[in-house]
Structures are given as structure tokens and as C-alpha cells.
Amino acid sequence: MIRIEHLVKNYGANCAVDDISFEVGEGEIVGLLGPNGAGKSTTMNILTGYLSSTSGKATVAGIDILSDPLGAKKLIGYLPEQPPLYLDMTVEEYLNFNYELKGCKLDRVPHLEQICDTVRIRDVYRRVIRNLSKGYRQRVGIAQALVGNPKVIIFDEPTVGLDPKQIIEIRNLIRSLGKEHTVILSTHILQEVQAVCDRIVIINKGKIVANEKTENISNAVEQSRRFNARICGPQKEVLAALRGMSGVAYAEALAERDGDAFTYTVESERGVDIRKKLFYLLAERGWALVGLESLGMNLEDIFISVVDQSEEKKTRAARGERRRRGADRTSAEREIGAGLYEDAKRQREEAAAREPDDEE
Ligand code: ADP
């Protein structure tokens, strides 16, 4: 339904989107995930015809957004990060205005009523938008995107600034819209794409570093086995024991100290749960474990983890178990992923080389 090929956008010397290619199939919900400044909004603005690209091609249902922007825009509903609301209009006036603007041919009253039911704004239909809560304003923004019943709906950071209850409601709404529409949403929140999307495209510094089914990214996240452990005992010996444990990929001592307890970051090898073993080892040595906190993954960890998995896939592919998804990765993606991986590896090695002082 959507095809982006070798898209590039330069702002002067700054390359915001650097040779991005991906596809979104009919009925899919795809999330663009990346830190702020990654190039998500720029990609969406090109896709929706708000911005021109420096080079590359974007098509919606086969219509080129650059050569036939009006034709393509008829197929797209767009909710930008700042919803384009006219605050002095009532919801009714605003949706009718959008109906006219889009030259919608659907039967007006039932169409707008249906939209209001879908996004649950019937109770505020006659109210002035300025007086609505942020959650309701976001719903009105989504309603505007649904006018004309477009095949594709694009949401840019749809839950920014909402409270937790509103976030859940908007995510549920997007999920339900995915039954009838093709949806792309951008976010910098991993849980958002995990909750809503079928597939996740991770963008970093204008490049795609992963394009995976959500379940694959979620598996990678679950495989995170990093903990902070607070342990009472001589720091140097404890650290040596942690590093000597089978199943431990990496251990380092942090600067924190709480009485005779020091904090250590411990990472297990993939697929190994070291928590019980850690408990018994420490008990045997007489070192009390006074805290064990699982560390979440940040986006960089996820990039590394996903790239790690893709490297495994490549190895399997070389053994003849070639998989289509692995083959989709471009050399640029591998390069940036490998760069992130090497950086993290180097930092770990440097940290490991800095032996802590024995402060016993
Ligand atoms: P994201 O949506 O992922 O936060 P953006 O697409 O907004 O990222 O921005 C990507 C990069 O392009 C950033 O470095 C940003 O500073 C830059 N950028 C975005 N819009 C403009 C603009 N109008 N002029 C110059 N640079 C821009």
C-alpha cells in the first residue's frame, strides 16, 4: 500500500533522512520508532505531501506522492504532531469544514456521525474546541484524519502530552482503526509501538537500523538480562566472583556505595537466567544480596539486540537457512547497527579494564 524507496531529505548540510526504503502492506499497522531528531516527522511529512524530498520516491497505492500529490493525499488521513485544529470552531463546524476542504463525496451526516462514534466525541460535538481537554482535542484531530474514509492513516507522535488514561484510550482507538485502514505511526516510545503495531521500523540519525515484526523486537527486549545487584562484601572479590560465574557475559562495579554494599551491573549471556545461581553463589560466600533490579532496555540496547539477532540470522542464512527478513537488510543498516554494537562493546571493554579500588 505504501512504498518508500531511497528517500533522502537534506536541510542544507544536515541530512535528516538518509536513503530510507520500506514498505507497508494493506491493513498493516507499522510504527516508526526512533529518538528525537531521528527523521520520523520528516519522513511522514514527505509521505503526506507536506514536504518535498531531495531525492527518492514515495507512493501510496501506486500513486506517486511527488508527481500526483492531490491524488495521493485523497488516500491519506494525517494527524501531525500538532493537530491542525481551529480552536474557535465547534467540533461540528470543524469536521464540516474538513469535509468541504477534502471535497468529500460520502453522505455527510451519516459519515460524520460514524466518525464521531468511532472516536467517541459525540458528547462534545457542539462544543468549542478551545474548551476541550487535550485528550478530546486529540480525538478531534483523529476525527479530522478520518474524514473521507482514507485508506491510509498517518499519526505523528499521537500520544505526546496525554495522561496515562488518555494514552491507553488513544492506543486502543488506533488499534481498532487498523482493522479497516493501513496505519503508520511515529513515536519515540518503545511500549507504544509494542502495544499497537504489527511491525516496527527503527530509525536512527536518518537511517533505518531495523525493520522487524513486533514480536521479534519484543523477543529481543525480553532477552535483556541486565541487572543492578547490591551486594555486601569486598568489592574486588565480589566483582571477580561475578565475572567468573558461568552465564555472565559482563560485570562491572558502579561508584555507588551504601554501607558495606556496593552496586554492580551484571549482564547474562543471551537466554540464560542467572538470578538463582547468583543468589546461591553469594550465599555460599557469605555476601548478602540486598537488592536486585532489572534494567530496562534503552533504544540503543534495542538496536544492538536487534542487530545481534540479525547477525545470527545472517549466519543461519549462510548455512542455507536463508530467511527473507534477514535478506531485506541493506548494507547501510548493517553498517550503522554494527557501529552501535562496536561502540557499546568498546565502552564495556574500557569499563572492564578499569579495575575498581578495593575499598574494604
Ligand atoms: P523526529 O521526528 O524523529 O524527531 P525530525 O524529522 O523532526 O525528527 O528531524 C530530523 C532532523 O532534521 C533533526 O536533526 C532536525 O533538527 C532536522 N530538521 C527538521 N526539520 C528541519 C527544518 N525545517 N530545517 C532544518 N532542519 C530540520
Q: What is the mean pLDDT of residues 113-123?
A: 94
Does ligand 1 come within 6 angstroms of the Cβ of 38? yes
Share above pLDDT 90 across residues of the chain, in percent, rounded to a whole number: 58
Give me the pLDDT at residue 87, please: 96
Q: What is the mean pLDDT of residues 121-133?
A: 96
Nearest CA to ligand 1 atom 22: 11
Of 4, 20, 42, the residue with max ligand 1 atoms within 8 A of its CB, to mutate for a pocket test, comes to 42
> Using one digit for the tens of pLDDT, what is the confidence trace for 61-110?
999 998 898 889 889 999 998 888 999 999 999 999 999 999 999 999 99
Of 8, 10, 11, the residue with max ligand 1 atoms within 8 A of its CB, to mutate for a pocket test, comes to 11
Over 232-283, what HEC string results? ECCHHHHHHHHHHCCCEEEEEEEEEEECCEEEEEEEECCCCCCHHHHHHHHH
Nearest CA to ligand 1 atom 21: 11
Does ligand 1 come within 6 angstroms of the Cβ of 39? yes
pLDDT of 179 > 50? The answer is: yes
At 205, list the grid cell. 540519525
Nearest CA to ligand 1 atom 12: 16
pLDDT of 136 > 60? The answer is: yes
Helical segments of the chain, H only: 40-47, 69-73, 91-101, 108-119, 134-146, 164-177, 190-196, 214-222, 235-244, 275-285, 299-318, 324-328, 331-353
> Using one digit for the tens of pLDDT, what is the confidence trace for 15-35?
999 999 999 999 999 999 988
Nearest to 22 by CA among 150, 176, 197: 197
Does ligand 1 come within 6 angstroms of the Cβ of 34? yes
User: Comparing 147 with 336, which gets the higher pLDDT?
Assistant: 147
Can you tell me the distance from the alpha carbon of 356 to that of 264, in angstroms, rounded to the nearest whole number?
11
What is the distance in A from the centroid of ligand 1 to the CA of 164? 27
Q: How far is CA 200 from the centre of its chain?
A: 7
Does ligand 1 come within 6 angstroms of the Cβ of 37? yes
> Using one digit for the tens of pLDDT, what is the confidence trace for 299-315?
556 666 665 555 555 55
Q: What is the mean pLDDT of residues 242-262?
A: 91
Nearest to 185 by CA among 10, 47, 302: 47
Residue 43 backbone dihedrals phi, psi, to 5 degrees: -60, -45
Give me the pLDDT at residue 278, please: 94
pTM of the model: 0.70
Q: Which residues contact 353 (CB under 8 A, 6 or more apart)?
A: none
Give me the pLDDT at residue 35, please: 83
Residue 70 backbone dihedrals phi, psi, to 5 degrees: -65, -40
Count CB atoms within 10 A of the CB of residue 290.
14
Does ligand 1 come within 6 angstroms of the Cβ of 17? no
Can you tell me the distance from the alpha carbon of 160 to that of 121, in angstroms, rounded to the nearest whole number?
19
Does ligand 1 come within 6 angstroms of the Cβ of 45? no
Can you tell me the distance from the alpha carbon of 74 to that of 60, in angstroms, rounded to the nearest whole number?
10
Of 41, 189, 192, 203, the residue with max ligand 1 atoms within 8 A of its CB, to mutate for a pocket test, comes to 41
Give me the pLDDT at residue 204, please: 87
- Determine contact, residues 94/144, Cβ cutoff 8 Å: yes
Nearest CA to ligand 1 atom 13: 37
Which atom of ligand 1 lies at the shortest distance from residue 43's CA?
Answer: 6
- Determine contact, residues 20/7, Cβ cutoff 8 Å: yes
Nearest CA to ligand 1 atom 10: 39
> Using one digit for the tens of pLDDT, what is the confidence trace for 278-304?
999 999 999 999 999 877 665 556 666
What is the distance in A from the centroid of ligand 1 to the CA of 112? 34
Does ligand 1 come within 6 angstroms of the Cβ of 41? yes
Torsion-angle region of 230 (φ positive above 0: left; ψ -120 to 50: alpha; else: beta): beta
At 336, list the grid cell. 550503522
Can you tell me the distance from the alpha carbon of 127 to that of 133, in angstroms, rounded to the nearest whole number?
11
Can you tell me the distance from the alpha carbon of 336 to that of 312, in angstroms, rounded to the nearest whole number?
17
Q: How far is CA 118 from the centre of its chain?
A: 25
Nearest CA to ligand 1 atom 17: 16
pLDDT of 330 > 70? The answer is: no
Q: How confident is the model at residue 321 (pLDDT cuts 50, 70, 90)?
A: very low
Amino acid at 251: A
Nearest CA to ligand 1 atom 7: 41
Q: Order of strands across the sheet with 261-268? A: 248-258, 261-268, 226-232, 289-294
- Determine contact, residues 47/2, Cβ cutoff 8 Å: yes
Residue 156 backbone dihedrals phi, psi, to 5 degrees: -105, 115
Q: Which residues contact 258 (CB under 8 A, 6 or more apart)?
A: 230, 290
Residue 205 backbone dihedrals phi, psi, to 5 degrees: 50, 45
Does ligand 1 come within 6 angstroms of the Cβ of 40? yes
Does ligand 1 come within 6 angstroms of the Cβ of 98? no
Does ligand 1 come within 6 angstroms of the Cβ of 16? yes
Share above pLDDT 70 across residues of the chain, in percent, rounded to a whole number: 80
Does ligand 1 come within 6 angstroms of the Cβ of 263? no
The DSSP letter of residue 171 is H
Does ligand 1 come within 6 angstroms of the Cβ of 42? yes
Q: How confident is the model at residue 36 (pLDDT cuts 50, 70, 90)?
A: confident
Q: How confident is the model at residue 162 (pLDDT cuts 50, 70, 90)?
A: confident
Q: In order of start, what are the domains of the chain with their CATH numbers?
A: 2-220 (3.40.50.300), 225-294 (3.30.70.1340)
Give me the pLDDT at residue 163, please: 87
Angle between helical axes of 275-285 and 235-244 (0-180°, round to 10): 140
Q: What is the mean pLDDT of residues 145-174?
A: 92
